Chain A
Amino acid sequence: MDAELVVRFQKGEETAFEDLVRRHMRDAYGFCLRLTADPFRAEELSQDGFVLAYRHLKEFRGESSFRTWLYRILLNLHRDRIRRRAREEARLEVLKTGDHRPLPSSPAAPGAGQEAVELEELIRRRVAELPDRQREVLVLHVYQGLDYRAIAEAVGCTYDDVKVNLSLARRRLREELKERLS
């Protein structure tokens, strides 16, 4: 479906791009929210990503899927911003002191106890605190459902880097969440 929309856009059908946006906007926004931990920045980042994708879609040759390509654009934009603001450092500092704005969570399942809600929040924070590369790989795998090869393309690393970083992220999360998960 994506490939078809891309071809239609490349042949001049402008509305095909809007269909691509509608298909991927929730996914892209969710991904950016996991990266930035800030709803406003996530909205801006995901929109910037679509605008860039629009500008270069004519050159897109389909060597990866549109979705992987979009993730790559979003990651590049995100990294640029992080580098420019040293924002990561500040955000982790805020998280460490507990003075953080929690990510918007889904409404707790009916009957879910306070403990379950707290665990969800704890998980979101622990994921947000992972080192950049580990967080990128973990989020792309767990929440965006990409396989290792697609993650490597999106992140711009090797297949083995994906394996290593995913393993490190999981080990760290298991350690940090050990008591709550057992």
Chain B
Amino acid sequence: MKCDEIRESIAEYHDRELDPQRAERVREHLAGCASCSGELRELEGLETALRGAPIRADDIRWDAYVAKVRDRATASRRSAWKALIPLAAAALFLWGFTRVFTVENGASLVDHYALADAEGRARLERKAARLGTDGVAALVTILVADPDPVRQRVAAKLLGSRMNEGPVRQLLVERSKEVARQDSAEVVLVDIGFEPGDDELVAPAMEMARSERLFADAVRILKRLDRGTLNRSGHAEIVRRLREMLSSDLPREREAGFRIARELEILLEDVVEFLDVPALGPQVLDFLRRRTGQKFGPDKAAWRAWFARKS
């Protein structure tokens, strides 16, 4: 065998991945070739150095570790049953008896996701995109009510862009409200283990902010998303959605958009349009003056000119 061929096989030879005949041929070559055996020695040197840099795992309290796994595992088994109860209830309530038995589809997608390889995951995501309303209801219920953060994260991932669909948003709000009766909405959506930066959270949080009762909690969540992200992706998503709301045909939607922008201290030129809206004008003017330090009156042109200069 030539050196080129041997070089290609040296790593596999070193790692005992070659079949016996091929390994023998490499061994014979190495015995008579200083260059190739030097290559092998270099590889062995690297391997020895790598193995010589161990990490310590002795400062873990292993008994406590096992106990925690045991408790969480047992709780997850119980919660799997518990999760099915609201799932079934939601499905019955919303879509009637005939479709209840397909509810589990959404839950089983979640269960299989973490075990699947990349191809399997892509398949599950495609399935999630085609799920019927009852399957989506199952995912929503897991997202807002499942006690296991791992399942909740997967549900959010599988729901993905479907959170923008009207019925899904509606369901999300309904379920968030139901859960929030017993707990604060912030606990529901933030303390489930989502990190600031989870753009998926922006959609449900914006939905929550439309509700008077959940507004304060939603603003707390949105503040974390707005300021806590590594790459400000949360901020960009919030601004995008605020702009949509502020340009809506529906007065209530526009008003909600302004209220959120004001709470988050996000200054958008779009609000200038509301200066002459009777119910909103004074609040908008107050907000603009406070945020910019300018003293213009309700003169849209003046504010627009200021924003133009600023940009």
Contact surface of A with B, Cβ cutoff 8 Å = 17-18, 21-22, 25-26, 29-30, 33-34, 39, 43, 47-48, 50-52, 54-56, 72-73, 76-77, 80, 84-87, 89-90, 103-107, 119-121, 123-124, 127, 138, 141-143, 147-148, 156, 163, 166-167, 170, 173-174, 177, 181
Contact = CB atoms under 8 A, between A and B. Distances in A.
B114 A34 contact: no
A73 B114 CA distance: 7
B150 A26 contact: no
Of residues B42, B50, B51, B157, which shows the largest number of chain A Cβ atoms within 10 Å of its Cβ?
B50
Given A18-B66, A76-B114, A120-B52, A47 B72 contact: yes
Given A142-B50, A173-B46, A47 B198 contact: no
Given A47-B65, A73-B114, A142-B50, A124 B55 contact: yes
A52 B65 contact: no
B115 interface: yes
Interface of B: 11-12, 15-17, 42-43, 45-47, 49-57, 59-60, 62, 65-66, 68-70, 72-73, 76-77, 80, 111, 114-119, 121, 148, 150, 153-154, 157, 195, 197-198, 230-231, 233
A182 B15 CA distance: 22
Contacts of B59: 39, 104
A123 to B, nearest CB: 4
A127 to B, nearest CB: 7
B45 A181 contact: yes
Contacts of B154: 80
Contacts of B77: 54-55
11 contacts: A17-B73, A18-B70, A54-B76, A54-B77, A55-B76, A73-B115, A80-B153, A80-B154, A89-B230, A148-B17, A166-B15
Contacts of B68: 47
Contacts of B12: 148, 163
Contacts of A86: 197, 230-231, 233
Nearest to A123: B53
Given A21-B66, A25-B66, A170 B53 contact: no
B72 A177 contact: no
B116 A76 contact: yes
A179 B269 CA distance: 57
Contacts of B52: 120, 123
B72 A51 contact: yes
Contacts of A33: 55, 57
